[in-house]
Amino acid sequence: MTIPYPKPLFYGEASDEYPAPFLGYDYVPGDFPIGLAEERRALSAETLAKFLRRLHEFPVQAALKCGVQQDHRSLTDIASRKVKLEGFLSKLVEHLSPEEYGVIEAYISRLQTDRVEAVNALLHGDLHFKNMLVNEKGIVSGIIDWGDLSIGHPACDLSVAYSFLPPYARGVFFETYGGADEETKLLARLIAVYIPVLILMQAVDDRNEEIAAEAKSNIMRALSD
């Protein structure tokens, strides 16, 4: 892989001292990309694209034989995700500025596609700013938390092109990745809004203003062109 990720070093079996099995990983250095400047984000466009291209090229049948599960989240069902987003937005009214609320509401109302065609690839499955690390230059230096590793639509991971990268860096990203059709880009943008909305809701509950602010900036970046 072109970006470091945690590699399991040892396996711990359940015992009386600790009742569940567990894995021990090597340490991946870096900081979360919170408050990262747009020009810094753009520096990772090619690196992220190469990383995801290699991940998504992994043979699906080989992954299934290794025990990787088929995605269970109905990623391609845009209609149900739209309904959920509308419900989430109604709960976040007081935590968004009128401009932020208006942009998100307008985006949801424009979503007319109900479903996209299923495509299978090996996915990280939960690629957002809380599962990414950057070095001192702001370049992505680690991808962590692979608990949602699964087989599903590559748009799930390609959402970082919208939530993490500024609009002017997306062309380089998709060119390096090897292209993506319009359905894939539509779904990728939706997930780039949906996941940060979930993170924002949790941050509001936790009263974590820093994470809430970053989640909002991810949403607004995803909806900018």
The boundaries of the domain holding residue 202 are: 30-222
- Is residue 21, in this structure, part of any structural domain at all? no
CATH of the domain at 210: 3.90.1200.10
Average per-residue pLDDT for the chain: 95
Q: Reply yes or no on whether the pLDDT at 1 is more than 70.
A: no
At a CB cut-off of 8 Å and minimum separation 6, what does 87 contact? Answer: none
Residue of 222, 131, 204, 171 lying closest to 49 (CA atoms) = 171
- Is residue 6, in this structure, part of any structural domain at all? no
Residue of 63, 220, 76, 224 lying closest to 156 (CA atoms) = 76
| Percentage of the chain modeled with pLDDT above 90 | 90
Is-contact 46 127, C-beta < 8 A? Answer: no
- Is residue 24, in this structure, part of any structural domain at all? no
- Pairing status of strand 69-70 against strand 150-152: parallel
Residue of 29, 9, 11 lying closest to 20 (CA atoms) = 11
Which tokens is 11 given? 């396996």
- Pairing status of strand 132-134 against strand 140-143: antiparallel
Residue 23: what pLDDT? 86
Domains held by the chain: number: 1
- Is residue 50, in this structure, part of any structural domain at all? yes
Question: What are 79-103's pLDDT values in tens digits?
Answer: 999 999 999 999 999 999 999 999 9
Among 24-28, 58-62, 133-137, 173-177, whose mean pLDDT is lowest?
A: 24-28
pTM listed for this prediction: 0.94
Cβ count within 10 A of residue 153: 23
- Is residue 8, in this structure, part of any structural domain at all? no
Which tokens is 105 given? 């509401």
